[in-house]
Amino acid sequence: MPAPVKLGTLLLLSGALAISACKTKPPKELPPEPGAPTSSTDTGQLGAAVPGSQADFVQIMAGQDTIYFDTDRYDIDSGDQAALAKQAQWLARYPAKRATVEGHSDERGTREYNIALGERRANAAKNYLVSLGVDPSRLSTVSYGKERPVALGSDQQAWAQNRRAVTVTID
Amino acid sequence: MTKCFTTPRFTLALMLALAGAPLAAQDAPVTGTPAPQPTAQGAVEGDDGGLTGSVSDENEWQDLGIAITTFATDRDVPTQTNAGSTAQLGQAISQVIASDLKNNGLFKPTGPAGLPQPTLPQVQMPDYASWSGRGADMLVQGYVKAGADGQLTVGCYLYDISLTRQLIKGGWQFAASDWRRAAHKCSDLIYSRLSGESPFFDSKIAYIAETGPKGRRMKRLAIMDSDGANHRYLTSGQAMALTPRYSPDYSKILYLSYLNGQPSIYSYDLATDRQTLIARTGNPTLAPRWSPDGKWVLYSMARGGTTDIYRISAAGGGTPQKLTNGPGINIGGSYSPDGSKIVYESDQSGSQQVYVMNADGTGQRRISFFGGRAATPEWSPRGDQIAFTHIAGDLRVAVMNPNGGGMRHLTNSWQDEAPTWSPNGRIIQFFRTAKGSGQASIWQVDLTGRNERRLPTPVGASDPAWGPIRP
């Protein structure tokens, strides 16, 4: 399992070293966490998160609860692997916790296909978590296709943020 | 909630027993049916090159000037309609007919405002000379009568002014609440007689009503008549609803709901307002489709990153039959009118493309090879065309022959998708999404690519599913 220190460093530097971590995925120009909520479960208040809660998960992941995909793709690249490893660490610390991986697409596709594509992305993330030792019975997937965008624009940057799989732990 | 969808107490199209001109020009009407019967169905089956033949008949009938007068009545009495008394209803019916024709770019209708109102006897004895003086080519007249039981009887007559002859007539009985159907039946009668096409006005549309901001939009199942009237919401919006499909007999709607968190196909029974899961699979199911005879249902099921198409009996029971077997995403499916083939979408080649297979899953082959991606194929009820979403940068509605040839765009906008056919295969509805806001609206365009217009819906609208002509 990758060392958390290294991951944290990477995260801190990611703004400056945009080319460093990501192999294929288009780097988001904005760090994902400020402003927009990262998933459909809005966990609200920072600071006093109960250890092992979804709020705690969101806080500790610091944006790494979400992985991003290229157009029409669902492969897990090196940046995604780091994020999923961090998620797996947290899940290992709280073995009673279950989680749902939500798959999403951008708006530039047809509705039904995008639901299937989101399912495929969520499934890819789930499979990678399982490969890191998370019991598959703790993980479920759901796809929202293009119906739940997190970035509301109609441009490349927004679409890159919407092609995502978000891990949400169940309180 | 009042139920709008009562079983139509519609006595089958009594041909009016009338003295008067014999229907010399009529195309051999089947007894008890007012409109000429569709003849196109199946006629082009196997004719994959039929594109030009099916759209080039943009001929002079489109330019016919049609005068539509206020329907007369024997007694001006109150009715149980929202239109008012029988006299008011007569005017409302004429207005619906004029709107039907005008909104679809059919003919050049005038009236009922500004035209003389015929008396009841004049309905069957038009003054041809005076109408000729007004420059009308065709004249539509009719009457409405209220029965003691609240039933309405509506008669509809089409006259050719220059030939001084009645071309066709029809009559129907409807419950008061269904009065607009009488107007649509009259529109269908006129349209079919003059164009030679099958009727389409008396039909309904299921769709998804959308409200709220882009990131949290509420999506509800809704229905309406083909002209947007008699709108009704079927679901509350608590669970996201998508991709409805009317059963061929209008008794049920299959649609995708997130009711229990996981996207699953439910069958909504319109008589009881009850909903049932169509298959308990433990996996997400989506993209529901009916066979033309209503006996089979297709659904797609996602599992382990792949999606495949299954067929089950619409009556329930039996083991689902898996029609595709990966790789990738195989989804959707639309039957040919004779039920022998299914056109569907697959990304097994690396991107979404359109494939055809036999109804039992054999003989799968790709038909789209014109560049870009091709999605959401829908077989025309006439059999000669497949409508689909062409994705090449923008999303556009297009048609092709069943062999993949003759691809033609019908729309050119930022994002048009999910075409659905009118019952006669002459018009396509689809939904258009606005760049930025993501606002969705239902539009229609005819097979020639003309007469594009937005349908009136109370809120945002997507995923139109046009049902068949009503009996």
Residue-wise pLDDT for B368-417, tens only, equals 999 999 999 999 999 999 999 999 999 999 999 999 999 999 999 999 99
B17/B126 Cα distance (integer angstroms): 18
End-to-end CA distance of chain B: 26
Q: What is the pTM of this model?
A: 0.84
Q: Say whether pLDDT at A164 is over 70.
A: yes
pLDDT at position B24 over 80: no
With an 8 Å Cβ cutoff, is B227 touching chain A? no
In a shared domain, residues B319 and B442: yes
pLDDT tens, residue by residue, B117-138: 999 999 999 999 999 988 899 9
Same domain, B184 and B310: no
With a cut of 70, say whether residue B465 has pLDDT above it.
yes
Q: What's the pLDDT at A160?
A: 97
Taking CA A116 as the corner, what is the angle to CA A113 and CA A118, rounded to the nearest 5 degrees? 110
Could you tell me which of B145, B172, B182, B204 has the C-alpha nearest to residue B4? B204
Asked, for residue B44, whether it belongs to a domain, the answer is no
Closest residue of B to A141, CA-based? B262
Give the SS3 label for residue B134: coil
> Kind of pairing, strands B296-303 and B306-313?
antiparallel
Q: Which of A16-20, A91-95, A156-160, B68-72 has the lowest mean pLDDT?
A: A16-20
Which residues lie across from B160 on neighbouring strands? Answer: B138, B165
What order do you get walking across the sheet with B365-366 strand by strand?
A: B330-335, B341-346, B353-358, B365-366
With beta carbons under 8 A apart, name residues in chain A contacting B397: none
Structural domain includes residue B34: no
Question: Quick one: pLDDT at residue A45?
Answer: 53
**CATH number of the domain encompassing residue B358:** 2.120.10.30
Cβ-Cβ contacts under 8 Å, A131 against chain B: none
Chain B residue with CA closest to A122: the answer is B305
How high is the pLDDT of residue A81?
97
In-domain check, residue B4: no
Is residue B64 located within the same domain as residue B167? Answer: yes
pLDDT (0 to 100) of residue A109: 96
Residues near B141 by beta carbon (within 8 Å), at least 6 away in sequence: B69, B71, B72, B118, B122, B123, B124, B126, B156, B157, B159
Residue B72 has pLDDT above 80, yes or no: yes
B287, A119: Cβ pair inside 8 Å? no
Residues B143-172: what's their mean pLDDT?
A: 95
A33 vs A55: CA distance, rounded Å: 13
Q: Measured between alpha carbons, how far is B369 from B353 in angstroms, rounded to an integer?
A: 8
A147 CA to chain B: closest CA distance, Å?
A: 8
* Interface with chain B: mutation pick from A115, A127, A150, A168, highest number of B CBs within 10 Å: A115
CB contact under 8 A, A117 and B329: yes
List the single residue in B214, B243, B304 with the smallest CB-CB distance to A112. Answer: B243
Alpha-carbon Rg for chain B, nearest whole angstrom, is: 23
Dihedral of CA atoms B220, B226, B229, B233 in degrees, nearest 10, equals: -20
Q: How far apart are CA A40 and CA B432, in angstroms?
A: 26
DSSP code per residue over chain A: ---HHHHHHHHHHTTT-TTTS-SSSPPPSS-SSSSS-SSSS-----S-PPTTSHHHHHHHHTTTTEEE--TT-----HHHHHHHHHHHHHHHHSTT-EEEEEEE--SSS-HHHHHHHHHHHHHHHHHHHHHTT--GGGEEEEEEETSS-SS-SSSHHHHHHHSEEEEEEE-
The reply to whether residue A111 touches residue B243, judged by beta carbons under 8 angstroms, is yes
- Total domains present in chain B: 2
Query: How would you classify the pairing of strands B330-335 and B321-322?
Result: unpaired
B351 interface with A at CB cutoff 8 Å: yes
Of B286, B305, B391, which has the smallest distance from its Cβ to A115's Cβ? Answer: B286
B19: pLDDT strictly greater than 60: no
User: What three-state secondary structure class fits B135?
Assistant: coil
**Residue B149 binned pLDDT confidence (cut-offs 50, 70, 90):** confident
Residues B271 and B311 both lie in one domain: yes
**Closest B-chain CA to A123:** B305
Calpha distance B432→B442 (Å, rounded): 6
Which of the listed residues B177, B195, B213 is the one where a domain comes to its end?
B195
Whole-number Å distance between alpha carbons of B33 and B27: 12
pLDDT at B60: 65
Three-class secondary structure of residue B453 per DSSP: strand
Mean pLDDT calculated for residue range B207-218: 96
Structure token pair of residue A39: 């998933």
pLDDT of residue A46: 55
Residue B1 domain flag: no
How much is the pLDDT for B104? 86
Longest dimension (CA), chain A: 41
Instruction: Read off the amino acid at residue B174.
Output: F
User: Is B110 part of any domain?
Assistant: yes
pLDDT at B45: 34
pLDDT at B10: 36
Q: Chain A contacts of B329, Cβ < 8 Å? A: 113, 116-117, 120
Confidence category of residue B316, pLDDT binned at 50, 70, 90: confident
B78 shares its domain with B184:
yes
Whether residues B86 and B177 share a domain: the answer is yes
The amino acid at A65: D
Residues B267 and B183 in one domain: no
Give the CA radius of gyration of chain A. 15
Arithmetic mean of pLDDT, B11-34:
36
- Which amino acid, residue B422? S
**Based on the domain organization, do B210 and B287 belong to the same domain?**
yes
Same domain assignment for residues B284 and B187: no
Residues B187 and B303 in one domain: no
Backbone angles phi, psi at B88, to 5 degrees: -65, -35
Quick one: fold of A4-170?
60s Ribosomal Protein L30; Chain: A; (3.30.1330)
d(CA B97, CA B69): 10
Q: What is the mean pLDDT of residues A118-137?
A: 97
pLDDT value at residue B116: 93
Instruction: Specify whether the CB–CB gap between B138 and B158 falls below 8 A.
Output: yes
Q: How confident is residue B445, by pLDDT bands cut at 50, 70 and 90?
A: very high
In 3-state terms, what secondary structure has residue B57? Answer: coil
CB B330 within 8 A of CB B345: yes
Which of B138, B171, B195 terminates a domain? The answer is B195
- Print the domain residue range for B216: 204-466
Give how far Cα A36 sits from Cα of A138, B219, B297, B470, Å.
Answer: 27, 22, 40, 48
Assess whether pLDDT exceeds 90 at residue A32.
no
Residues paired with residue B373 on neighbouring β-strands, in sequence order: B391
The answer to whether A142 contacts B262, with C-beta atoms less than 8 Å apart, is yes
Q: Is A70 on the interface with B (CB under 8 A)?
A: no
pLDDT at A79: 93
B455 within 8 A of B228, measured Cβ to Cβ: yes
Query: Which residues lie closer than 8 Å to A155 by C-beta, 6 or more apart?
Result: none
Residue B56 scores a pLDDT above 60: no
Instruction: Give residue B317's pLDDT.
Output: 78
Domain stop point among B195, B215, B237: B195
Domain ranges for chain A? 4-170
Structure confidence at residue B59 (pLDDT): 56
- In angstroms, how far apart are the furthest CA atoms of chain B? 74
Q: Output the pLDDT for position B37.
A: 36
Instruction: State chain A's mean pLDDT as an integer.
Output: 81
Q: Is residue B8 part of a domain?
A: no
Tell me: pLDDT of A117 over 50: yes
**B298 assigned to some structural domain:** yes
Q: Please compute the mean of the pLDDT values over residues B235-253 and round it to a whole number.
A: 97
Q: Which of B207, B352, B353, B463 to mutate to test the interface with A (most CBs of A within 10 A)?
A: B352
Tell me whether residue B9 is in a domain.
Answer: no
Q: Determine the Cα angle at B100 with ends B439 and B91, to 5°.
A: 120
For residue A33, name the pLDDT band (cuts at 50, 70, 90): very low
Chain A residue closest in CA terms to B435 = A154
Q: Which residues pair with B417 in a beta bridge?
A: B431
Which CA distances in Å does B25 have to A167, B189, B208?
Answer: 69, 13, 43
Q: What is the mean pLDDT of residues B355-366?
A: 98
Q: What is the pLDDT of residues A61-98, one digit of tens each?
A: 999 999 999 999 999 999 999 999 999 999 999 999 99
Position B16 pLDDT exceeds 70? no
How many residues does this entry show for chain B?
Answer: 471
CA dist., res. B188 & res. B205, Å (int): 17
Task: Provide the pLDDT confidence category of residue B43 given band limits of 50, 70 and 90.
Answer: very low
Contact B217 A147 (CB under 8 A): yes
User: CA of A98, closest CA in chain B: separation in Å?
Assistant: 15
Judge whether A108 is closer than 8 Å to chain B, CB to CB: yes
Dist. CA B110–CA B95, nearest whole Å: 10
CA atoms within 13 A on the CB side of B68: 26
Inform me whether the pLDDT recorded for A8 exceeds 80.
no
Q: What is the pLDDT of residue A47?
A: 64
Residue type, B176: A
Question: Is B447 in contact with B437 (CB distance < 8 Å)?
Answer: no
If asked whether residues B391 and B455 sit together in one domain, one would say yes
Of B256, B304, B347, the CB nearest to A123: B304
CA distance B127 to B117: 12
- The upper half-sphere exposure of residue B372, i.e. CA atoms within 13 Å in the direction of its Cβ, equals 17
Give the pLDDT band of residue B281 (cuts 50, 70, 90). Answer: confident
The neighbouring-strand residues paired with B296 are B313
